[in-house]
Amino acid sequence: MSAITNRRNNSSAGTALPSFSATFVGRKPQSAHLRRLVARHRLVTLTGPPGVGKTRLVAEVAGRSRGLFADDLWWVDLSEVAGDDQVPVAVLDGLRAAGAAAGKPPAECDLLLVLDNSDRVLDGCRRVVEKILPQCPSVRLLVTSRSALGMPAEQLLPLVGLELPDLATASPDQLGRAEAVRLFTDRILLSDPGFAVTATNVAEVAAICGRLEGMPLALELAAPRVRLLGITELLRRLGDGLGLVSDRARTSTPWHTGIRAAIEWGHGVLNPAQSLMWQRLSVLPGPFDVEVATAICVEDTDGADGVLSLLGQLEAKSLLTPMTTDDGSVALRQWAAGRAFARERLTAAGEADRTYARLAVYLVAEIEPHLQAFLIPAGLCERVVARADHVLAAIDWLVERDDDRHAVLACGLARSWMALGRNLVESEQLLREALPTAGHLPGLTASLLAGLCKAAHRHGRYEEQLRIGAEALTVESTLGRPARIASVHNLLASAHRSSGNVPQAYRHYRRALDIARTLDDPAVLSLLLNDVAWAALEWDNPALAHEMLAEGLPLARANATPGRLASILHTAGSLALSEDDYETAEAHFVEALLVTNPTDGLKVPHFVEGIAIVLAANGESERALGLFACADSIRLEMRAAAEPAWQHRVYQTVDRTVTEIGTRRARTASAAGARIGLPDAVEYALNASEHFHATGRELLTRQEHTVAALVADGLTNQQIARRLGISSRTVATHLERIRAKLGVRPRPALAAWFTRAGR
């Protein structure tokens, strides 16, 4: 087959497009975007990793764009060109042939020239494009490549995998409509016409698509195996997809015969430095940031700038994909099959252990100094949780080598997860597995015991909490770490309180408070004051609760993280409920929902239930029951327990509300609320609150609201960044959005608006 596609269409001049036996599925936004680029610009390059579907999308868009060009289009496949020197020959010959077909000189042709598979002959492609652009003013070029040409007039459109469903939150119908699922299903039907996506198998179908990261080539190669293996067995065997090969070559193009072939074909263009970095990065599952990449690669480069440069080169070759995280920062990731291939090469080169060792050293140095603190800093918790896959990979490597440092990482990850209200079961498992290996390290043993003590409390196992807490206190008493001693006293106090032993709880709380006042850490002091205030509510001592909150709430507003501020706001709301001040209570619960992390499965249910209690008191019975059911389903999924006294109040309100409206209406309302998962719970509760709508705070997102609150408290951008664990640039971006939404520019005016809105 010639490099120039030269099959004539009966209906038009120019060349036929590559033929495909299967239908084109998905990519509507990208198709529309690419058509707009082709219509407005003379040089457009579609980039992306192997198997992402560049050729297929360009063929679809080119076919739909034929009417835009008087002389139609010409397609040149550069994969069969021997080298850079042959590119001008192939392309210019094609352009002359297009002119002959149109009956005019090439310079006068009005056509779309497609240069497909330009990866290995980029230099030659650049040279020919530099000639065509000035000499043929009506010719537009559409290029597919793993790398951009890097020319001034070039318009880029990076392509990533097809849209993937969120397995945690999507309904079966939403799973079935996702682009990746639709493509996979369509290709299965080609070999198994009797296949159907059902409510029973849709989650496994979506899981396969997720495992293959929505990469079209991988999905097409996996689809025929469903007829032989079935969905369940295919999912079990699938792995990372690197071994997927074609039973019958779709085209004569060698890199389409399998995933490994597609990756190998592009690996040859890397220089040694690029190849080594790509291989080292393969130890990082999931997204990673530049800091982690620097930690494991910097010794092979000319410093951090050298790492950044190489990362940019790998991204330009579509071997790394940038992605924006929830806080607005940028992370990078490798395609799973590409990472598996790179890890094979890393192991074969004898560099795997050295790379994992660098990762372990970096993570241990980041986590270990903070294990003796009362609280792991919020920013570090966020970073550790964001890097959870990396931490787990390092733990596995250390465990295989009987290296005790795995216990440090296990303790740090477990405590960070629990601090953010996530992965309670996994946290406890990590702590239990690490504890036996830390016996000769008293400080680490005490920290692990304290983590297990907290886990027992989260699950409502208070006798176990008391036993583990006493053991932890015994070890801590020999180490002279005041902050950790105060933390263990606080854990013992909460266990005694939940068990109904008021005198013992009060004794431990007072001891923790006395130590905290010597630490010069207002965030810790505010946390302990909140815990005593909560205990005072359970003990029916509102005077003590008011005393603790009067000192603790201002401290929390000025020093605590948003999540810990939310906890003390919940206590303040609960105190208002005990005094039948429902308006104040709702204001506190609304603010707690606005400042907390919506993925915190421990805190969010409490705040949702607080609003539900207010709604029930105001006669909004069905909305209240929906919120109660929502909170209950979140806790059930987390396998977490509410505080006994709070749970008693909730149950009393639920029973009273069900009696008021009847069992049938109550079941309907509860069923609707139980379907609301954690990601939507905050929005669901806020939409039910009249106070929330009355303040106008729905204008801001949760993170924007938090930033505005900290501005109102007088914090600078750098201080806000440190508090929230994000960059100063991200804070500035949030502020610009806030100002645009509110029409308020000066910082004092923004603080005034926030104060008027009732915080």
What proportion of the chain, given as a percentage, has pLDDT over 70?
A: 91
Average pLDDT over residues 706-735: 76
Q: Which of 111-125, 428-442, 573-587, 603-617 has the lowest mean pLDDT?
A: 111-125
Sequence-distant (6+) residues with CB within 8 A of 700 are 708, 738, 741
For domain 521-691, which CATH number applies: 1.20.1250, 1.25.40, 1.10.287, 2.30.130? 1.25.40
Q: Is the pLDDT of residue 161 over 60?
A: yes
Alpha-carbon distance of 243 to 262, in angstroms, equals 11
SS3 state of residue 243:
coil
pLDDT band, very low/low/confident/very high, at 353 (cuts 50, 70, 90) = very high
Element (H, E) at 321: strand 321-324
CATH class of 261-350: mainly alpha
pLDDT at 729: 72
Average pLDDT over residues 741-748: 64
Average pLDDT over residues 551-571: 88
The dihedrals phi and psi of 373, each to the nearest 5 degrees, come to: -80, 160
pLDDT at 8: 34
Tokens of 602: 């421990």
pTM, two decimal places: 0.77
pLDDT at 258: 77
Q: Is the pLDDT of residue 515 over 90?
A: yes
Strand partners, 331: 323
pLDDT at 67: 77
Q: Is the pLDDT of residue 698 over 60?
A: no
Average pLDDT over residues 723-744: 72
Q: Cβ–Cβ contacts within 10 Å for residue 588, how many?
A: 26
pLDDT at 567: 92
pLDDT band, very low/low/confident/very high, at 749 (cuts 50, 70, 90) = low
Average pLDDT over residues 466-494: 93
pLDDT at 755: 60
Q: Do 521-691 and 696-759 have matching folds?
A: no
SS3 content of the chain, % helix, strand, coil (to 5): 65, 5, 30
Average pLDDT over residues 61-83: 83
**Distances, alpha carbon 168 to alpha carbons 171, 205, 207, 627, 634, in Å:** 9, 14, 11, 20, 12
Concatenating the DSSP letter of every residue in 557-615 gives HHHS-HHHHHHHHHHHHHHHHHTT-HHHHHHHHHHHHHHS-TT-TTTHHHHHHHHHHHH
pLDDT at 705: 76
CATH of the domain spanning 696-759:
1.10.10.10
What proportion of the chain, given as a percentage, has pLDDT over 90?
A: 39
- Answer for the pair 226, 181: CB distance below 8 angstroms, yes or no: no
pLDDT at 166: 76
Average pLDDT over residues 575-603: 89
pLDDT at 12: 33
Average pLDDT over residues 131-142: 90
Name the E strands within 126-172. 139-145, 155-158
User: Among all chains, which residue has been given the structure tokens 């606005």?
Assistant: 594
- Answer for the pair 266, 254: CB distance below 8 angstroms, yes or no: no
Name the E strands within 184-324. 321-324
| Per-residue pLDDT tens digits for 384-404 | 998 999 999 999 999 999 999
DSSP label at 743?
T
**Do strands 73-77 and 111-116 pair parallel, antiparallel, or not at all (unpaired)?**
parallel
Q: Is the pLDDT of residue 694 over 70?
A: no
Average pLDDT over residues 70-87: 83
Q: Which of 97-106, 321-330, 507-516, 531-540 has the lowest mean pLDDT?
A: 321-330
pLDDT at 666: 92
Choice between 68 and 10, residue whose per-residue pLDDT is larger: 68
Question: Positive or negative, the Cα torsion across 79, 83, 84, 86?
Answer: negative
pLDDT at 695: 63
Average pLDDT over residues 657-681: 90
Alpha-carbon distance of 606 to 673, in angstroms, equals 15
Mean pLDDT across the chain = 86
Residue 555 CA, chain-centre distance (Å), reads 32
Sequence-distant (6+) residues with CB within 8 A of 716 are none
pLDDT at 644: 84
Q: Which of 9-13, 421-425, 659-663, 691-695 has the lowest mean pLDDT?
A: 9-13
Question: Positive or negative, the Cα torsion across 721, 727, 733, 737?
Answer: negative
Q: Is the pLDDT of residue 405 over 70?
A: yes
Alpha-carbon distance of 681 to 673, in angstroms, equals 9
For domain 28-158, which CATH number applies: 1.10.3720.10, 3.55.50.30, 3.40.50.300, 3.90.1580.10? 3.40.50.300
pLDDT band, very low/low/confident/very high, at 708 (cuts 50, 70, 90) = confident
Average pLDDT over residues 743-750: 64
| Per-residue pLDDT tens digits for 217-253 | 889 888 889 988 889 988 888 877 777 776 554 444 5
Sequence-distant (6+) residues with CB within 8 A of 19 are none
Tokens of 396: 């596995």
The residue ranges of every structural domain in the chain are 28-158, 172-260, 261-350, 521-691, 696-759
